[in-house]
Homo-oligomer: A and B are copies of this chain.
Amino acid sequence: MSDIKKVVLAYSGGLDTSVILKWLQDTYQCEVVTFTADIGQGEELEPARAKAIKFGIKPEQIFIDDLREEFVRDFVFPMFRCNTVYEGEYLLGTSIARPLIAKRQIEIARQVGADAVSHGATGKGNDQVRFELGYYALEPGIKVIAPWREWDLVSREKLLQYAEDAGIAIDMKHKQGGAPYSMDANLLHISFEGRHLEDPKAEAEESMWRWTVSPEAAPDKAEYLDLEFEHGDIVGLNGVRLSPAQVLTKLNELGGKHGIGRLDLVENRYVGMKSRGCYETPGGTIMLKAHRAIESITLDREVAHLKDDLMPRYATLIYNGYWWSPERRALQALIDTTQQDVNGWVRVKLYKGNVYTVSRDSKDTLFDQTIATFDDDGGAYNQADAAGFIKLNALRMRIEARAGRK
């Protein structure tokens, strides 16, 4: 333990990572570098600086970065190019943020000459895996300190005692038993786990949800929204060109207003257990629907099916923390290749929790009205061809049936 000189800590400024900060100083007698990122979680970051200074961190070793554009542009958007959903429902809001944190932490470690990194994820969750696989993939010799797996502050009481002894301010919420849920937020979503939710029978309380109004409370009038796509990414809304983070911010606002993107599920963690989670992903829910719609007219059938076949594998890689793996990059090469002509616009209707695709068009459309029509197509498609098509596709089954197979 004693051989660690300097550690970069992913520091939120909250109680838990503050205790970790102190514990690292106490336990490793090492310099701590704090890194706080704005990935759209919606919290003030400057208080983290003040707190870090109180722990004796030198100003030049306090890193506070606005990563919102990078987050959406290089992580969220690439993921959505594959219509990525884990286990049929989860939009991977937490999973996709971890690789970016890990990358920036390693960059800072190189910059300040740190030999270790540390994070506040527990030993039961997926996030420890996502952080650490990222660290190791990017910097194979880095040392990793995961306090929750190492220390003896195993109960809430011990943690609070440690904080008090260290003179860390404990706000009322923690004194009264802590947050009712374990939460995580970034521009893509906010998640809720733990406590009341640990019983899969228990319905989530309405008061839990933060980013979306309840569908019941959403406007009684639907709202239409136009989304402009270039190479599979959204570049404009309602005719206004926007940056990636602006796009997602605006979609969250609209989705939240209309009660869109609430989800309550039981998922399978990489570390082996099932876990109940509730999620609000207002903007992501709209993006997924619209991306499928623009692909529906611009992607070739077999390319679309290839992507659909590979999607669950790609989603699992991201969920499990393998963003920085070579197999994720290989899949991304395939996915990105397919998005060249995914251009055009989609109109969706937002209403009380629903996103409906109602219209779509593209200069690169593969929808051929002449051929698709039920009316006379003037010979664009020869119906007689279908007879041969069916006959040959049926041949192996006819042979099999004649051979008496049942």
The answer to whether B384 and A352 touch across the interface, beta carbons within 8 angstroms, is: no
The answer to whether A87 and B304 touch across the interface, beta carbons within 8 angstroms, is: yes
Give Cα A42–Cα B361 distance, bound, in whole angstroms.
35
Q: How far is the CB of A16 from chain B (nearest CB, A)?
A: 12
The answer to whether B316 and A312 touch across the interface, beta carbons within 8 angstroms, is: no
- The reply on A108 being an interface residue by CB < 8 A is no
Give Cα A333–Cα B311 distance, bound, in whole angstroms.
17
> A292 contacts which chain B residues (CB < 8 A)?
87-89
Give Cα A358–Cα B209 distance, bound, in whole angstroms.
14
The answer to whether B381 and A200 touch across the interface, beta carbons within 8 angstroms, is: no
Quick one: which of B182, B200, B326, B405 contacts A374, CB cutoff 8 A? B182
Which among A4-12, A46-54, A147-155, A230-238 touches the partner chain? A147-155
The answer to whether A266 and B367 touch across the interface, beta carbons within 8 angstroms, is: yes
- The reply on A372 being an interface residue by CB < 8 A is yes
The answer to whether B274 and A368 touch across the interface, beta carbons within 8 angstroms, is: yes
Q: How large is the interface on A (under 10, 10 to 19, 20 to 34, 35 or more residues)?
A: 35 or more
> A195 contacts which chain B residues (CB < 8 A)?
374
Q: How far is the CB of A207 from chain B (nearest CB, A)?
A: 15
Quick one: which of B122, B393, B396 contacts A273, CB cutoff 8 A? B396
> A372 contacts which chain B residues (CB < 8 A)?
124, 198, 273-276
Q: A151-170: which residues lie under 8 A (CB-CB) from chain B?
A: 154-156
Which among A62-70, A72-80, A128-136 touches the partner chain? A128-136
- Complex: chain B residue closest to A382, CB-CB: B391
Q: How far is the CB of A221 from chain B (nearest CB, A)?
A: 8
Q: Mark A366-381, 1 if CB is under 8 A from B, else 0.
A: 1111011111100001
29 pairs from A and B in contact (CB 8 Å cutoff)? A83-B88, A87-B305, A88-B292, A124-B383, A128-B390, A138-B401, A155-B376, A156-B375, A198-B373, A202-B359, A215-B351, A264-B358, A265-B296, A273-B371, A273-B381, A276-B367, A302-B325, A305-B312, A325-B397, A326-B397, A330-B337, A331-B334, A351-B353, A352-B354, A364-B405, A366-B399, A371-B399, A385-B392, A386-B388
* Chain A interface residues (CB < 8 Å from chain B): 83, 87-89, 122-124, 128-129, 132-133, 136-141, 146, 148-149, 154-156, 182, 193-195, 198-204, 215-216, 220, 222, 262, 264-268, 271-276, 292-293, 296-297, 300-306, 308-309, 311-313, 316, 322, 324-327, 329-331, 333-334, 337-338, 341, 347, 351-354, 356-361, 364-369, 371-376, 381-403, 405
The 9 closest A-B pairs by CB, nearest first: A388-B388, A123-B383, A272-B395, A385-B388, A268-B301, A140-B398, A136-B394, A334-B334, A266-B296
